[in-house]
Amino acid sequence: MFIMTAKIPPNSRERNAMDSSLFDVIIIGAGPAGLNGALVLGRCRRRVLVCDAGHPRNAASHGLHNYLTRDGTKPAEFLRLGREELKSYETVKLMKIEVTDARLLEHGFEVTLSNGERAVGRKLLIATGVVDEIPKLEGLDSFYGRSVFHCPYCDGWEMRDQPLAVYGKGENGLGLALELILWSPDLVLCTDGPSELRAEDMARLAQHNIPLREERIQRLEGNNGVLDRIVFADGEAIKRRGMFFSTGQQQASELPKKLGCEFTDDGCVATGAYEVTNVPGVYVAGDASRLVQFVIVAASEGAQAAVAINKELMKEDL
Ligand SMILES: Cc1cc2nc3c(=O)[nH]c(=O)nc-3n(C[C@H](O)[C@H](O)[C@H](O)COP(=O)(O)OP(=O)(O)OC[C@H]3O[C@@H](n4cnc5c(N)ncnc54)[C@H](O)[C@@H]3O)c2cc1C
């Protein structure tokens, strides 16, 4: 189905003479960033291949927030709407498939798909997102996205004024606990083992009436996705209506690293204006390159990258 070539002619006339399955842009990842990038490029009549492995970061969420006109929309519905809208643009091809490899060619990129096929594109937009390190606590799966969350901006409003637990060690746990004061006056910091906090950190917690519990957690209990109790290893339990955790995240894909992209100290792909990376022709949008990780921000970055890519292609062709 796809052409396999080690060389893309840089000149547009030569390119037109080639197999029309040469893509202007290959987008890896069809979350909000990749889909919005595809929308802008489709409207520019660019030939676009969008590949998505089908593991959106917010799959567990009951509804996305902070997106004007979409507040409370289910994430799966948001993606369905996005994919549906792309159908109007016949030059955009969407595949549910993982990209397992990518390499630089003389004037473009070749990607390998999990079915062994390869595709060639002139520019690459990577929108592969991140994966969260979710605490390994018995019972957590049935509460995650309903009453256990990681982001107060996304779900703090729904949990306002409720008795909440904060899960995390050291500076992460402390920072999240202090942040959550905005949403609830009834907080307990659970570190599930030694807190790794200094005396002055503990004093700050005490100053804000946030008890510290360093005991190991045995399990979470509740019904229908609603957290009720946190049970410690010694059998003692505390009643909590919700929990927020801060335990870190990683890049969802190794491809930016493999292509030679630079990273920030926080583990994000380093990008400049319009989501450009240090690797010419490679753009990274969405959570993979940002610390403000919202659907609306990811979508906006996808659009910005698409405009930059389109301008770059025009510069090469005209
Ligand atoms: C529980 C939870 C709740 C959240 N709630 C909110 C909220 O209320 N409001 C809000 O604004 N944000 C929320 N977020 C954050 C939001 O999910 C992200 O900011 C947003 O999804 C980022 O979009 P993205 O396109 O960068 O990445 P993603 O949405 O993660 O999409 C990346 C896509 O790339 C695919 N992919 C990865 N590697 C490959 C590969 N090699 N080949 C092909 N495809 C690949 C993945 O399968 C995935 O489909 C929440 C996150 C979580 C975890």
In a domain, 83, yes or no: yes
Query: d(Cα 33, Cα 250) in Å, to the nearest integer?
Result: 17
Q: Are residues 79 and 93 in the same domain?
A: yes
In a domain, 7, yes or no: no
Look-up: residue for tokens 């920072």?
A: 175
> Among the three residues 201, 219, 245, which one is the final residue of a domain in this structure?
245
Q: Is the pLDDT of residue 229 over 50?
A: yes
Pick from 181, 154, 149, 182: which is nearest to 168 by CA?
Answer: 149
Query: d(Cα 178, Cα 191) in Å, to the nearest integer?
Result: 14
In a domain, 5, yes or no: no
Q: Which of 49, 61, 78 to mutate to test the pocket of ligand 1 (most atoms within 8 A of CB)?
A: 61
Atom of ligand 1 nearest to the CA of 296: 11
Q: Are residues 16 and 125 in the same domain?
A: yes
What is the number of domains present in the chain? 2
Higher pLDDT, 3 or 160: 160
DSSP structural state of residue 48? E
Q: Are residues 153 and 121 in the same domain?
A: no
What CATH code is carried by the domain that includes residue 186? Answer: 3.50.50.60
Q: Are residues 174 and 228 in the same domain?
A: yes
Pick from 173, 136, 162, 134: which is nearest to 239 by CA?
Answer: 162
Tell me which of 3-17, 26-40, 70-84 is least confident. 3-17
Q: Is the pLDDT of residue 9 over 80?
A: no
Q: Is the pLDDT of residue 6 over 60?
A: no
How much distance in Å is there from the Cα of 287 to the middle of ligand 1?
A: 7
For 182-197, write each residue's pLDDT tens digit: 999 999 999 999 999 9
Query: Residue 11's CB: how many other CB atoms inside 10 A?
Result: 12
Q: Which of 67, 243, 295 to mutate to test the pocket of ligand 1 (most atoms within 8 A of CB)?
A: 295
Query: d(Cα 59, Cα 156) in Å, to the nearest integer?
Result: 18
- Mean per-residue pLDDT of the chain: 94
pLDDT band with cut points at 50, 70 and 90 for residue 290? confident
Are 314 and 307 in contact by the 8 Å Cβ rule? The answer is: no
In a domain, 6, yes or no: no
How much distance in Å is there from the Cα of 58 to the middle of ligand 1?
A: 6
> Among the three residues 196, 227, 245, which one is the final residue of a domain in this structure?
245
Pairing state between β 108-113 and 99-105? antiparallel
Q: Is the pLDDT of residue 169 over 50?
A: yes
> Among the three residues 227, 245, 263, which one is the final residue of a domain in this structure?
245
In a domain, 106, yes or no: yes
Give pLDDT, residue 291. 81
Look at residue 269 and give its three-state secondary structure.
Answer: strand
In angstroms, the Cα distances linking 72 to 63, 66, 78, 226 are 4, 9, 10, 18
- Exposed, middle or buried, 20 (CB in 10 Å: 0-12/13-18/19+)? exposed
Atom of ligand 1 nearest to the CA of 57: 30
Q: Are residues 50 and 122 in the same domain?
A: yes
In a domain, 4, yes or no: no
Query: d(Cα 195, Cα 41) in Å, to the nearest integer?
Result: 48
Query: d(Cα 37, Cα 46) in Å, to the nearest integer?
Result: 11
Q: Are residues 110 and 217 in the same domain?
A: no
Q: Are residues 69 and 197 in the same domain?
A: no
How much distance in Å is there from the Cα of 256 to the middle of ligand 1?
A: 16
In a domain, 309, yes or no: yes
N-terminal to C-terminal alpha carbon distance within the chain: 29
For 75-115, write each residue's pLDDT tens digit: 999 999 999 999 999 999 999 999 999 999 998 999 999 99
User: Which residue's alpha carbon is nearest to atom 13 within ligand 1?
Assistant: 294
User: Which residue's alpha carbon is nearest to atom 41 within ligand 1?
Assistant: 99
Q: Are residues 30 and 119 in the same domain?
A: yes
Q: Are residues 239 and 266 in the same domain?
A: no
User: Which residue's alpha carbon is nearest to atom 50 within ligand 1?
Assistant: 58
How much distance in Å is there from the Cα of 66 to the middle of ligand 1?
A: 14
Q: Are residues 117 and 261 in the same domain?
A: yes
Query: d(Cα 183, Cα 164) in Å, to the nearest integer?
Result: 10
Percent of the chain with pLDDT over 70: 93
> Pocket residues for ligand 1 (CB within 6 Å)?
28-34, 51-58, 60-61, 64-67, 98-99, 127-129, 132, 145, 151, 154, 252-253, 255, 286-287, 293-296, 298
Question: Domain containing 80: what range?
Answer: 12-132+248-317
In angstroms, the Cα distances linking 32 to 1, 124, 156, 203 are 27, 16, 22, 41
Q: Are residues 74 and 127 in the same domain?
A: yes
Q: Are residues 179 and 123 in the same domain?
A: no
In a domain, 34, yes or no: yes
Atom of ligand 1 nearest to the CA of 97: 43
